[in-house]
A and B are shown apart, each in its own frame.
Chain A
């Protein structure tokens, strides 16, 4: 703090500190504390607030563990988000490797531009695009029927549709960190491994992937978090059988009218995401400071 004041003077550094405090205390810390407070209290009519029933308990969180449908949807959201991250990785890895190690300068700049363009378009529109393709009377079913692969239209909406749209939506978050990580690998290392007789598969599992571990972990963390917290893809592309945890949370707030339970569910989602983030980063020995780059 001392350095801030010697550099900018008392007036300016006070302004900076006030702005930062306003952000961290007022917009990050206070809302989260209030959410925790809500999550631990029962849902009471206004008259009973502050009364004998208004005590802290874990009942809202335990409700999630005891309600079979919600519990199943929660668990499904976890593994489905992991699956989204895994599929995104499989889709992105070859192209990231090609861009970082094989592509010429010209190919690389074209590839980067082409990959970034779809991500200037917002998530709702990208989901809308998939909604159209996968709809019952949509282009995918028409094409498949025209070439005779299927006799009747297929209902794509549901888990498959959600997966396709989510992978599509998060490609950039996986691709860029992996590309950055592989780019710093000396080409000579790959060549040395090949000259020593390593098969292509072995080169990737023993040389490239260990080197790119930090980038892969970063991509995985972001993709998982975005998938688990997404509302738009499951709400537009899901079916009644493929509900997502965020939809349950939304219902507590705007249909069930129980904000306390909604807050508890949101808290569980937050803790889940933070746990996955911290554990993954620890396993890959990545510093949090390197993630945001």
Chain B
């Protein structure tokens, strides 16, 4: 079967090309942070240095934008987790017909381009006299991040055994107590995971944030501006730190998930 062999060889080549396509850009970007060259590249290698990390560390505006991003992310989590959970609970208590309509409405922000979400939020709030800034960034980002929370909570709710609630009620617990002591503890893993996802989505958002940022400069806007106005490997140093944090987050998330399901 030589045709089979050739096919296999082509496929292995494809796998290798895919892996290179996936990781070469990130590796080159990371490696360029250690190159002395003023423009971030790996060829030619002009000497190994750590100075770009200290350049970035000393950059006041970077800290300012990091702070803005973290502040926004914290506010987004405070909005999206309660609202997303409420949406999931309301949706699962609807009857079949109403549910599929409500569902379509509730996932529609996921199918709306990010720029449109930013623009429509900006326009509405200008009518009310509020301009771009942290408040609008939080609102605009929350509009679609709520969908993710809702979907994650709904997935968890499907495995919930309603008889637990009934048992607690039968034993004399109030409805609020049942919610706090039975349902919320059951949802806890989904709530924590969705809070993590919300932070990630918020910090990495650019398309929506760009339109509602006002005079604020969150981290993604800071990086994009640097790319346009004067890219040095200091930005790569920042990128490398963010990448390592993201990988640590991914591994931590995966470990937590495996421990839960085990």
Residues in chain A within 8 A of chain B (CB atoms): 1, 3-4, 7-9, 11-12, 15-17, 19-20, 22-24, 27-28, 30-32, 34-35, 38, 91, 94-95, 98, 113-118, 120-126, 128-133, 135, 137-139, 142-143, 146, 168, 171, 200, 221, 225-226, 228-232, 235-236, 246, 249-250, 253, 259, 262-263, 266, 269-270, 273-274, 277, 287-289, 291-293
Q: Are A3 and B93 in contact (CB under 8 A)?
A: yes
Contact in complex: B90, A16 (CB < 8 Å):
yes
B86 lies within 8 A of A20 (CB): yes
For the A-B complex with A4-B90, A142-B44, A168-B21 known, give 13 more contacts whose Cβ atoms are closer than 8 Å: A7-B175, A27-B146, A113-B254, A123-B204, A124-B220, A139-B28, A228-B113, A229-B207, A231-B210, A232-B207, A289-B107, A291-B107, A292-B147
The interface bits of chain B over 53-96 (1 if a CB of A lies within 8 angstroms of the residue's CB, else 0) are 00000000000000000000000000000110011011001100
> How would you classify the secondary structure of chain A's contact residues: helix, strand, loop or mixed?
helix
Cα distance A287–B206 in the bound complex, in angstroms: 29
CB pair B206–A123 under 8 Å, yes or no, is yes
Question: For B40, what are the chain A residues with a Cβ–Cβ distance below 8 Å?
Answer: 132
Tell me if A9 and B123 are in contact (CB < 8 A): no
Q: Which of A130, A226, A266, A273 has the most CB of B within 10 A?
A: A266
Contact B43 A143 (CB under 8 A): yes
B175 touches A12 (CB 8 A): yes
Contact across chains for B123 and A34 when beta carbons are under 8 A apart? yes
Partner of B39, one of A23, A135, A292: A135
Residues of chain B within 8 A (CB-CB) of A262 are: 119
Q: Are the CB atoms of B28 and A133 closer together than 8 Å?
A: yes
Question: Which listed residue (B23, B44, B107, B176) contacts A9, Cβ 8 A?
Answer: B176
- Asked if residues B206 and A124 are in contact (CB atoms below 8 Å), the reply is yes
Question: Which chain A positions have C-beta within 8 A of B100?
Answer: 287, 289
For the complex of A and B, list the 4 residue pairs with the smallest distance between their C-beta atoms, beginning with the closest.
A229-B113, A122-B204, A31-B120, A9-B175
Binary CB contact string for chain B from 111 to 127 against chain A (1 if under 8 A, 0 otherwise): 11111110111111011
Whether A20 lies near B93 (C-beta < 8 A) is no
Known: A17-B90, A129-B28, A236-B227. A114 touches B119 (CB 8 A): no
A168–B207 CA distance with the chains assembled, in angstroms: 17
B204 contacts across to A, CB distance below 8 A: 121-124
Point out the residues of chain A lying under 8 angstroms from B7, CB to CB: 200
**Considering the complex, which residues of chain B in the window 188-217 have a beta carbon less than 8 Å from any beta carbon of chain A?**
200, 203-207, 210-211
In the complex, the chain B residue whose C-beta lies closest to that of A259 is B123
Residue of A98, A128, A138 with most partner-chain B CB within 10 A:
A128
Q: Is B29 an interface position by the 8 A CB rule? A: yes
Question: A15 contacts B29, CB within 8 Å?
Answer: no
Chain A residue numbers with a CB within 8 Å of B106 are 24
Chain B residues, CB < 8 A from A34: 120, 123-124, 127
Query: Which residues from chain B contact A250 at a C-beta distance below 8 Å?
Result: 115, 210-211
Question: Given that A168-B21, A292-B147 are contacting pairs, would A132 and B120 also be in contact in the complex, using a CB cutoff of 8 Å?
Answer: no
